[in-house]
């Protein structure tokens, strides 16, 4: 059984507006009351509790930047970051569901969608439709544009054929942004983004991956076999999908940074409580200077990650360059989450290695942070190229 977590004081070094603070606290309360009790069973079943998703929509967490006229919350990218952080503090699987919806799918539609596309898809995305972002393939991970999925124009439609792998939200999504090439000889200039609905002929969701961590988050294969997509469902311009992919992923990396910050905060919260309760040599282990120094270093590492993530999100909202800040935020937060989750298990000792306590799960969840939405090496390359 996972022990109840009491409130852990946080220095609050980052200033939030009153509205942001209220929203953050509301999400935190929801995560602790509605998500936390479901975490062990969802991890064991490798599936989200179906009752959670409607609640996420009702709270406005699935349409944070969608304009109010479409039923959205009409808030900021920074608000999305706060939401992902707070949900991930309890369960990074729920955090990434909301993250992909907001920082990838909705952001892509906001930037590249026509007014007709927004009118068609935003009301559903704000109310009850989960979105997914389908770029990766078996042969194109870090080489994101080495796509084999093809799109051919036939009459008024495009016909898509190919396979997508490792698609987050694949099991739950009703709308997919699928990237395919219309001209393999053109390289990245042939890449085009398509809005594909789940019930389109020729589209199916395939194998669901059995993963190490974030197990409740669905990661699936997509299969497109002569999948017909109306021409009006092209997102952006034909042959310009690479721009949509690059810009959206830059924003998405900030969201993953927020997920990792929340995860690390959750692990540290549990550990601070534990070291004040666990006794050895006749006193709480938290009274030993060695343990205190470990806690202090973890808290400092975490706060540095949080500030990098928040800064990148603020820059994005201010329409200022954020390529390097986003890469730095993703790089540092994902590595910090692994360090902190690992050290938290050390402080739990043998208990930390069991499923009875929550740090074991958070340790498993942390590993994905250095892999998806741009590996650590890709973030280092982005930073170095920009600086040199």
Mean pLDDT value across residues 65-94:
98
Structure tokens at 24: 């953050």
Reply yes or no on domain 132-239 having CATH 2.40.110.10.
yes
Handedness of CA 102, 34, 266, 166 (dihedral sign): negative
Domain with CATH 2.40.110.10 in the chain: 132-239
The dihedral formed by the CA atoms of 159, 164, 169 and 173, expressed in degrees to the nearest 10: 10
How far apart are the C-alpha atoms of 43 and 263, rounded to whole Å? Answer: 15
Q: What is the pLDDT of residue 201?
A: 97
CATH architecture of 18-130: Orthogonal Bundle (1.10)
Q: What is the pLDDT of residue 135?
A: 96
Q: How confident is the model at residue 146 (pLDDT cuts 50, 70, 90)?
A: confident
Q: What is the pLDDT of residue 1?
A: 42
Q: Pick the residue with more confidence: 4 or 266?
A: 266
Domain with CATH 1.20.140.10 in the chain: 243-387
Mean pLDDT value across residues 360-373:
97
Burial degree of 295 (CB within 10 A; 0-12, 13-18, 19+): middle
Q: What percent of the chain has pLDDT over 90?
A: 93
How far apart are the C-alpha atoms of 264 and 363, rounded to whole Å? Answer: 9
Structure tokens at 86: 């707070």
Q: What is the pLDDT of residue 142?
A: 81
This prediction's pTM: 0.95
Candidate list 85, 221, 251, 373, residue with the active-site label: 373
In this structure, are residues 20 and 82 in contact, taking their beta carbons and an 8 Å threshold? yes
Q: How confident is the model at residue 53 (pLDDT cuts 50, 70, 90)?
A: very high
How far apart are the C-alpha atoms of 322 and 304, rounded to whole Å? Answer: 17
Per DSSP, helices labelled H in the chain are 18-30, 39-45, 52-58, 77-90, 92-99, 107-112, 115-127, 241-277, 289-317, 323-348, 359-366, 376-387
Phi-psi region of 302 (alpha: psi -120 to 50; beta: other; left: phi over 0): alpha
Domain with CATH 1.10.540.10 in the chain: 18-130
| pLDDT of 95 higher than 70 | yes
Domain spanning 243-387: which superfamily?
Butyryl-CoA Dehydrogenase, subunit A, domain 3 (1.20.140.10)
| Distance spanning both ends of the chain, measured CA to CA | 51
In this structure, are residues 384 and 362 in contact, taking their beta carbons and an 8 Å threshold? no
Q: How confident is the model at residue 3 (pLDDT cuts 50, 70, 90)?
A: very low
Q: What is the pLDDT of residue 333?
A: 98
Mean pLDDT value across residues 106-127:
98
Catalytic residue flag (residue 373): yes
The pLDDT tens digits for 186-208 are 989 999 999 999 999 999 999 99
How far apart are the C-alpha atoms of 205 and 245, rounded to whole Å? Answer: 21
The pLDDT tens digits for 214-257 are 999 999 999 999 999 999 999 999 999 999 999 999 999 999 99
Mean pLDDT value across residues 256-267:
98
Q: How confident is the model at residue 334 (pLDDT cuts 50, 70, 90)?
A: very high
The mean predicted confidence, pLDDT, of the chain is 95
Q: How confident is the model at residue 42 (pLDDT cuts 50, 70, 90)?
A: very high
| pLDDT of 359 higher than 50 | yes
Q: Match 């190229």 to its residue by tokens.
A: 385
Structure tokens at 167: 């698609």
| pLDDT of 9 higher than 50 | no
């Amino acid at each position: 059984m996972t022990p109840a977590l009491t409130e852990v004081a946080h220095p609050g070094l980052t200033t939030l507006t009153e509205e942001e603070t209220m929203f953050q606290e509301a999400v935190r309360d929801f995560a602790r009351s509605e998500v936390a009790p479901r975490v062990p069973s969802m991890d064991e079943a490798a599936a989200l509790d179906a009752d959670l998703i409607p609640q996420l929509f009702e709270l406005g967490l699935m349409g944070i930047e969608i304009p109010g006229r479409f039923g959205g919350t009409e808030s900021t990218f920074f608000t999305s970051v706060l939401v992902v952080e707070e949900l991930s503090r309890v369960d990074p699987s729920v955090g990434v569901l909301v993250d992909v919806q907001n920082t990838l799918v909705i952001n892509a539609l906001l930037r590249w969608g026509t007014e007709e596309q927004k009118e068609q898809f935003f009301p559903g995305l704000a109310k009850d439709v989960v979105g997914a972002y389908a770029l990766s393939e078996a042969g194109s991970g870090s080489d994101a544009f080495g796509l084999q999925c093809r799109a051919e124009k036939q009459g008024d439609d495009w016909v898509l054929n190919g396979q997508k792998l490792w698609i987050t939200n694949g099991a739950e999504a009703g709308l997919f942004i699928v990237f395919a090439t219309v001209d393999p000889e053109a390289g990245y200039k042939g890449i085009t983004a398509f809005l594909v609905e789940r019930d389109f002929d020729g589209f199916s969701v395939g194998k669901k991956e059995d993963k190490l961590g974030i197990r409740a988050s669905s990661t699936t294969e997509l299969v497109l076999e002569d999948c017909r997509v109306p021409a009006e469902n092209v997102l952006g311009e034909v042959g310009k999908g690479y721009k949509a992919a690059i810009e959206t992923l830059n924003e998405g990396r900030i969201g993953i940074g927020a997920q990792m910050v929340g995860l690390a905060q959750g692990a540290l919260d549990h550990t601070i409580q534990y070291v004040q309760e666990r006794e050895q040599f006749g006193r709480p282990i938290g009274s030993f200077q060695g343990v205190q120094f470990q806690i202090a270093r973890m808290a400092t590492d975490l706060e540095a990650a949080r500030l990098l993530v928040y800064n990148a999100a603020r820059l994005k909202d201010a329409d200022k360059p954020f390529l390097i800040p986003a890469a730095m935020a993703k790089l540092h937060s994902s590595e910090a989450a692994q360090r902190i989750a690992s050290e938290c298990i050390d402080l739990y000792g043998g208990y930390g290695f069991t499923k009875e306590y929550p740090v074991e799960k958070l340790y498993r969840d942390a590993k994905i942070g250095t892999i998806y939405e741009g590996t650590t090496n890709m973030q280092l390359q982005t930073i170095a190229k920009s600086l040199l």
